[in-house]
Structures are given as structure tokens and as C-alpha cells.
């Protein structure tokens, strides 16, 4: 059965139902599951686990690459399965549980999780559940639409449940580049020298004796929920294209720019779309998630190569890409997130990192995660991995939210994920602030002049002027610094005006 998918014949007797496989997961275990930006997650076993937990309660620590699709985090949360969750999520039900303190969420840089696992600094993975398109004759794992942390989970876990997903095309085989850094103190440089360097193998090498179950599944990845560009996101893209042009004019970039990274989501996707109508070409991407815009850039002849850790497409784009996958395959690679997001490689290649801010402040500190300083949205994801070591660390956001009740540009952010030291360029639909080489007072004026919505500009200028009267390298009026957030909490608006 499934001889093209399970090529090591001795594994055939490991095939079982998802419910049977889920029985292998014990209360208190730490489980590592595949899945990164709603792509390539194990689907059947976590669903069966949630169903089982509704009958017989159990709790696990769940690690993934990043977010899961198919409402898995919702089902697992509702079934009370999640004691601990790391390193990223985007599910509204899970989010509520995290913010209520009933699920312990550990929000990590996406390059860090398996480093900590390998060094046994966090609890070991007892069991891995990994979606694959095939198992090779050697018993090695051919992953599906994401690599994420799957390779390290499978290598480090005591036992592995494999989900062979028949809905994922076998053509994905050959796309992955599985490389695991060696153990310290004899670790060698990671030999990625450009976005298209392949340094590993196409499958995850594990001892097939560790495979304790194989489950056949047929469920597709959830389609991307990215919204189409609107006037604001197009304006943001326009400001960035103009900025890149000025960098080319100044001789700091060539027409191929530098390898591009774009965070997941509507704004970053729109920014990448903005490059379709730009003078730049022969572009490359060294990113985490490859979205619709990646393939639109391929189709437009703008993009030479794209490296990522997952592919997350809309239903329409997915159908189109996989009807002619041979057009793209030689120009794509999917890597472990430890490598796609590795500080060493990001610094070496000189990435242009474009990520979305929830809010930023006068001085360029960025909040990517916490609403009102307390309530978790999704997690920092890879934004810190990229921003810290990028050639250009760019953060984008619309200048206002909720019809103007919220300004995304504030006197002091309510939570800091990226400090002023790590932020080069801020962009809203209002304009772009180039903070490179500026002292805090200069950064503040650039932010006020270029990024804040007119509705908030006078108030922000007023705060800054008042703060400057008090002095300090980074002037603040501590008594007022968080007031906009407090107003929002108390009145539903940051400012009464």
C-alpha cells in the first residue's frame, strides 16, 4: 500500500489510524509537531488527540515550527490538551487561553527553539508528529510544504509518528534542504553563501526504528488569509520602492537589491507585490515564508530565486503553482527555520528584512506582539532574527487602526520586541523615516515628520517638545509616557480628540 509514499517496505506494518497513533501520546509529554505558517502541519493525529482528550483528559507541551492551520490550535485548546505551547501561534481561541493564563506560552525567536532543545536547555521532545509526502527506502523523511523545526524534532525525539499526506504532491520531494548544525564545541560555519546555496540533504535522516506509527491523511493545508493590497498598503509599498530607488542612486544597493525577507501577513505581502511595478529585477528572497507575492514575482520575471522555510499560498495561487510546479521548483528551496532565520547567514548575506509592527514609538522601539502591553497577539516569530542582523531592518504598519481610535505611532510602546538599536527604517502609509545614524532626538523628529497620522501629529509633537524640556538622551515624560495606552484601555480611544 502507498508503495510510492512508503518506500521502506518494513515500515508498512506501522500504518495505523490517527486515533491509534494518538494513543502513543501520553499525558505530560512534550510533543514536537511539524507546521510553520499554516503549512505542512501534522493534521490527523492532533485532531485525533483533541477528540481523545474530550473523552480522557490529558495535557501536553506542544512545540511546532510556527503557526498551525486547520484550526488545530483551536481544537487542542478547546479539548484542554495544551499545558504549554511554543514558539508561535496565530489562533484566536488559543490566544484567549494564553491571555487568561491557562496555557503557558513561550514566545521565542524562531531560530532559537531547536538550539535550546539540542543543548537540553528546555524540556526534551518525547515524541514528534511530522507530516511528510514520503518515506524513502532508507526510512528517511521527505517533508511537505514546510520544514520549520520538523527535522530537529524528528532527530531529537525518542519516537516519531509520520503523517503521509496524500493531498500534498510528491513533486515536493527534492525541494527541501535539510542541514543541522553540528554540536558545539566543534560546530562549523553554516556554509550558506547565497540564497540559492544548497548545503544539506533532501530528506530527514533518522533511524527508521524510531518511527512508531504511520498515519495516512488527505487534508490540504489551510489557505493563506492574506488580504489583497489596499490604498494604505500600496502607499507603504510605494514609499519603500522610492527608498530602494534612492539607495540604488546612492550606490548602496544595486538594481537586484539584496536578498529580501518579508514577514507573513497582508502588509508585507503587499510590499512584495509593490516590487512588481518597480525597476528592480533579478531579485532574490531569503525569507521564512513564501507567500503569493513570491510566485507573482517569479511569474513577472522579477525573482531569480527564493529560499524559505514554508510555502503558504491562497487557494487560487496554490492551484496555479501546483499545476505547473516544475516552473518554480529549481528556483526554490525550503530550509529548517534555524537556517532560514540564522543570525550567521542573515548577517553574511545582508538581508533586507521587512516585518510588520503592531506599534512603534518616537524613538523607533517596536512592539510586534502585545496589545496594550499585556495581551499577546501571535508572537515575535522571526522578526527579531532578521531585524537584528539585517542590512536594512524595516518595519511597516498602517499609522492608525480601528478607524483612528488607535495610533500605531506612540510616545512610548507598551511592550518592546525590537529596540531602537535594531530598527533602521519605519514606514506607514504617511511616509518613511530613515533612522540610520540618527540620535534619539533626531529619530523622534523623523518619525513625527514622516510616519504619524495627521490626526495624532500635533499631540505627538507636543509630547516630544514637553519631554525635551525635561532633558535626557531619550526624552520622556514618565508620567505621560503610557497615557495613550491607558486612555485606550479606559475609553476605547488613545486621544479624546
70 is known to lie in a ligand binding site: no
**Binding residue (CB under 8 A) for its own copies from 54, 57, 92, 104:** 104
Residues 41, 288, 359, 420: which is the catalytic one? 288
Residue 98 binds its own copies, judged by CB under 8 A: yes
Name which of 45, 37, 43 is nearest 20 in CA terms: 45
- Closest CB to its own copies among 212 and 474? 474
To the nearest whole angstrom, how small is the minimum distance from the Cβ of residue 273 to its own copies? 24
- Select the span of 74-82, 105-113, 130-138, 145-153 touching its own copies (CB under 8 A): 105-113
- Closest CB to its own copies among 98 and 213? 98
To the nearest whole angstrom, how small is the minimum distance from the Cβ of residue 254 to its own copies? 9
Stretch 274-303 residues interacting with its own copies (CB under 8 A): none
- Select the span of 160-168, 261-269, 307-315, 472-480 touching its own copies (CB under 8 A): 472-480
Residue 404 binds its own copies, judged by CB under 8 A: no
Stretch 61-90 residues interacting with its own copies (CB under 8 A): 84
Stretch 157-186 residues interacting with its own copies (CB under 8 A): 184-186
- Closest CB to its own copies among 3 and 250? 250
**Binding residue (CB under 8 A) for its own copies from 60, 133, 190, 216:** 190
Residue 142 binds its own copies, judged by CB under 8 A: no
To the nearest whole angstrom, how small is the minimum distance from the Cβ of residue 122 to its own copies? 4
Stretch 330-389 residues interacting with its own copies (CB under 8 A): 342-344, 347-350, 365, 370, 372-376, 380, 384, 388-389
To the nearest whole angstrom, how small is the minimum distance from the Cβ of residue 279 to its own copies? 19
Q: What is the 3-state secondary structure (H, E, C) of the chain?
A: CCCCCECCHHHHHHECCHHHHHCCCCCCCEEEECCECCECCCCHHHHHHHHHHHHCCCCEEEECCCCCCCCHHHHHHHCCCEEEEECCCCCHHHHHHHHCCCCEECCCCCCCHHHHHHCCCCCCCCEEEEEEEEECCCCCEEECCECECHHHHHHHCCEEEEEEECCCCHHHCCCECECCCCCCCCCCCCCCCCCCCCCCECCECCCHHHEEEEEEECCCCCCCCCCCCCHHHHHHHHHHHHHHHHHHHCCCCCCCCCCEEECCCHHHHHHHHHHHHCCCCCEEEECCEECHHHHHHHHCCCEEEEEECEECCCHHHHHHHHHCCHHHHCCEEECEHHHHCCHHHHHHHCCEEEEECCEEECCCCEECCEECCCEECCCCCCHHHHHHHCCEEEEECCCEEHHHCEECEECCCCCCCECHHHCCEEEECCEEEECCCCCHHHHHHHHHHHCCCHHHHHHHHHHHHHHHHHCCCCCCCCCCCCHHHHHHHHHCCCCCC
- β partners of residue 152: none
Residue 415 binds its own copies, judged by CB under 8 A: yes
Stretch 244-263 residues interacting with its own copies (CB under 8 A): 250-252, 258
- β partners of residue 360: 366, 409
State the distance between the two ends of the chain, measured CA to CA, in whole angstroms: 68
Told to judge if 138 belongs to the known catalytic residues of this protein, a careful annotator would answer: no
Residue 478 binds its own copies, judged by CB under 8 A: yes
382 is known to lie in a ligand binding site: yes
To the nearest whole angstrom, how small is the minimum distance from the Cβ of residue 233 to its own copies? 26
To the nearest whole angstrom, how small is the minimum distance from the Cβ of residue 383 to its own copies? 10
- Closest CB to its own copies among 209 and 439? 439
Q: Please answer whether residues 307 and 287 qualify as being in contact, where contact means their C-beta atoms are separated by less than 8 angstroms.
A: yes
Binding string to its own copies for residues 438 to 467, with x set by CB under 8 A, is what? xx-xx------------------------x
378 is known to lie in a ligand binding site: yes
- Select the span of 32-40, 158-166, 313-321, 483-491 touching its own copies (CB under 8 A): 483-491
Residue 194 binds its own copies, judged by CB under 8 A: yes
Residue 240 binds its own copies, judged by CB under 8 A: no
- Residues catalogued as catalytic: 288
Binding residues: 378, 382, 402
Binding residues for CoA: 378, 382, 402
Amino acid at each position: 500500500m502507498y508503495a510510492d509514499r512508503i518506500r521502506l517496505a518494513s515500515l508498512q506494518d506501522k500504518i495505523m489510524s490517527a486515533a491509534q497513533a494518538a494513543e502513543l501520546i501520553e499525558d505530560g509529554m512534550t510533543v514536537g509537531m511539524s507546521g510553520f505558517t499554516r503549512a505542512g502541519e501534522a493534521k490527523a493525529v492532533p485532531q485525533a488527540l483533541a477528540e481523545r482528550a474530550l473523552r480522557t483528559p490529558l495535557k501536553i507541551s506542544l512545540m511546532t515550527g510556527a503557526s498551525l492551520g486547520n484550526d488545530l490550535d483551536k481544537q487542542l485548546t478547546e479539548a484542554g490538551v495544551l499545558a504549554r505551547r511554543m514558539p508561535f501561534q496565530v489562533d484566536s481561541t488559543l490566544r484567549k487561553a494564553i491571555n487568561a493564563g491557562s496555557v503557558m506560552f513561550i514566545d521565542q525567536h524562531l531560530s532559537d527553539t531547536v538550539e535550546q532543545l539540542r543543548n537540553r536547555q528546555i524540556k526534551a521532545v518525547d515524541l514528534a508528529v511530522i507530516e511528510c509526502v514520503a518515506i524513502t527506502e532508507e526510512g528517511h523523511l521527505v517533508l511537505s510544504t514546510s520544514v520549520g523545526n520538523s527535522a530537529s524534532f524528528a532527530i531529537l525525539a525518542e519516537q516519531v509518528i509520520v503523517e503521509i499526506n496524500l493531498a500534498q504532491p510528491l513533486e515536493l520531494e527534492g525541494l527541501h534542504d535539510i542541514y543541522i548544525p553540528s554540536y558545539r564545541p566543534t560546530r562549523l560555519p553554516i556554509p550558506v553563501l547565497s540564497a540559492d546555496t544548497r548545503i544539506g540533504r533532501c530528506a530527514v535522516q533518522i533511524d527508521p526504528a524510531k518511527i512508531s506509527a504511520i498515519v495516512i491523511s488527505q487534508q490540504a493545508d489551510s489557505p493563506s488569509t492574506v488580504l489583497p493590497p489596499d490604498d494604505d498598503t500600496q502607499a507603504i509599498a510605494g514609499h519603500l520602492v522610492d527608498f530602494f530607488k534612492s539607495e540604488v542612486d546612492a550606490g548602496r544597493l544595486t538594481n537586484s537589491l539584496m536578498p529580501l525577507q518579508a514577514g507573513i501577513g497582508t502588509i508585507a505581502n503587499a510590499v512584495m507585490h509593490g516590487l512588481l511595478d518597480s525597476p528592480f529585477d533579478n531579485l532574490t528572497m531569503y525569507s521564512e515564508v513564501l507567500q503569493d507575492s513570491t510566485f507573482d514575482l517569479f511569474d513577472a520575471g522579477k525573482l531569480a530565486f527564493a529560499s524559505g522555510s514554508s510555502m503558504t499560498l491562497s487557494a487560487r495561487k496554490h492551484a496555479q503553482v501546483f499545476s505547473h510546479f516544475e516552473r518554480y521548483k529549481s528556483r526554490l528551496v525550503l530550509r529548517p527555520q534555524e537556517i532560514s532565520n540564522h543570525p550567521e547567514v542573515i548577517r553574511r548575506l545582508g538581508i533586507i528584512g521587512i516585518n510588520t509592527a503592531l506599534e512603534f514609538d518616537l524613538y523607533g522601539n517596536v512592539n510586534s506582539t502585545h496589545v496594550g502591553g499585556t495581551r499577546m497577539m501571535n508572537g515575535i516569530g522571526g522578526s527579531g532574527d532578521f531585524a537584528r542582523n539585517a542590512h536594512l531592518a524595516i518595519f511597516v504598519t498602517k499609522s492608525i487602526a480601528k478607524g483612528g481610535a488607535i495610533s500605531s505611532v506612540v510616545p512610548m510602546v507598551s511592550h518592546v520586541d525590537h529596540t531602537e538599536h535594531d530598527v533602521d527604517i519605519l514606514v506607514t502609509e504617511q511616509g518613511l523615516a530613515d533612522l540610520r545614524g540618527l540620535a534619539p532626538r533626531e529619530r523622534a523628529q523623523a518619525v513625527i515628520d514622516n510616519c504619524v497620522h495627521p490626526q495624532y501629529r500635533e499631540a505627538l509633537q507636543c509630547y516630544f517638545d514637553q519631554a525635551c524640556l525635561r532633558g535626557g538622551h531619550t526624552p520622556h515624560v514618565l508620567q505621560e509616557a503610557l497615557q495613550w495606552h491607558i486612555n485606550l484601555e479606559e475609553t476605547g480611544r488613545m486621544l479624546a480628540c
